Amino acid sequence: MSTRGLENRIELLQGTLDLLILRTLVLGPVHGHAIAKAIERNSEDVLLVEQGSLYPALHRLIKRSWISVEDGISENNRKAKFYRLTPKGRKQLAVEVTKWETLARAIARVLQPTK
């Protein structure tokens, strides 16, 4: 059942996972599973995230001090790690968003040169 509709999904471009994680954390601290869910839901299930790949990405962001980690209690009352955007991460998000928009515009112009 879960394999159905896979053909409509798009594999994430290299590096875009970081952007998506940062964007997700703008609304406040979130734990790992919830981040995965949020990305899938917000992209209307178009973006395919192999959920496991979230974790190396999260650690990469911690190492760069773009996010921090804290203990908390999840919605179903379990202990969980909550990830929070640091001020540095917030700035980085702005940079990444700009970069992404530039890229997207550029690709759009290439695809519709008549415009």
Partner 1 sequence: MKRRRHLNHLDEEIREHLEAETQDNIDRGMTPTEARLAALRRFGNVTVVREETYNVWHPVWLQQVLQDARYALRALGRNRRFAGTVIFTLALAIGMNTAVFSVIEAVLLRPLPYPEPDRLVWLAAFDRGYQPENDNHIGQADYTMWSSRTNALESAAAYGNQDLPMMVFGEPSQERVASLTGKFWELTGAKVELGRLFVPGESHAMVLSHVLYERRFHGDPSTLGQVVSINGFPFIVVGVLEKGFRFILPQQSFSGDQVRDIDAYIPIPPVLLTLPPMGQQAWEDLVQQVGPAPMWLNVVARLRTGVSLAMARREMDSIYKSIVLEHSPTQHVFDRFTGWRMSLLQQKLAGSAQRALMVLLAAVLFVHLIAIANIANLLLARAAARRREIAVRAAMGAGRTRVIRQFLAESLLLSSLGCAMGLLLAHYAISMMVRLWPQAIPRLAEARLDTPILLLTLALSCFTGFVFGVAPAMFLWHSNLHDALKDNTQTSSGSTLRTRVRKVLISVELALAIVLLTGAGLMMKSFWRMNANPPGFNPESILTMRVSLAGRQYATWPEQQSYIRTVLSRLEAIPGIDAAGIVGQTLHTNVKAEGLASETPAAAFSAIRAVSIGYLRAMGVPLIAGQWPSDNQMLDEVLVNESFARSLSRKGDVVGRQVSGGFLNGRIAGIVADFKYAQMDAEPTPEVYASYELAPLTNPMSIGLFIKMNGDAAPHIEALQKLVAAVDPTQPLYDAQTLQQSLSDSIAPRRFNLFLMGVFAVSALVMALVGIYGIIACSVTQQTQEIGIRMALGADRNNIMGMVLFEGAKTTASGIVVGLLAAIGLTHLMSSLLYNVKPNDPLTFLAVSLLLIVTALLACLGPALRASLVDPMLALRNE
- The span from the CA of 38 to the CA of 21, in Å, is 9
* 73/106 with CB nearer partner 1: 73
- The span from the CA of 60 to the CA of 71, in Å, is 19
Tokens matching residue 105: 């515009």
Of 23, 37, 84, 90, the residue at the interface with partner 1 (CB under 8 A) is 37
Give the nearest distance from C-beta 71 to partner 1 in angstroms.
Answer: 9
- The span from the CA of 18 to the CA of 87, in Å, is 16
Answer yes or no whether residue 36 interacts with partner 1 by CB under 8 A. Answer: yes
What are 72's strand-pairing partners?
80
Answer yes or no whether residue 39 interacts with partner 1 by CB under 8 A. Answer: no
Answer yes or no whether residue 52 interacts with partner 1 by CB under 8 A. Answer: yes
Answer yes or no whether residue 69 interacts with partner 1 by CB under 8 A. Answer: yes
Q: How many residues bind partner 1 (CB under 8 A)?
A: 24
Answer yes or no whether residue 55 interacts with partner 1 by CB under 8 A. Answer: yes
* 88/109 with CB nearer partner 1: 88
Neighbours of 80 (CB within 10 A): 17
Answer yes or no whether residue 111 interacts with partner 1 by CB under 8 A. Answer: no
Asked if 18 and 64 touch (Cβ cutoff 8 Å), the reply is: no
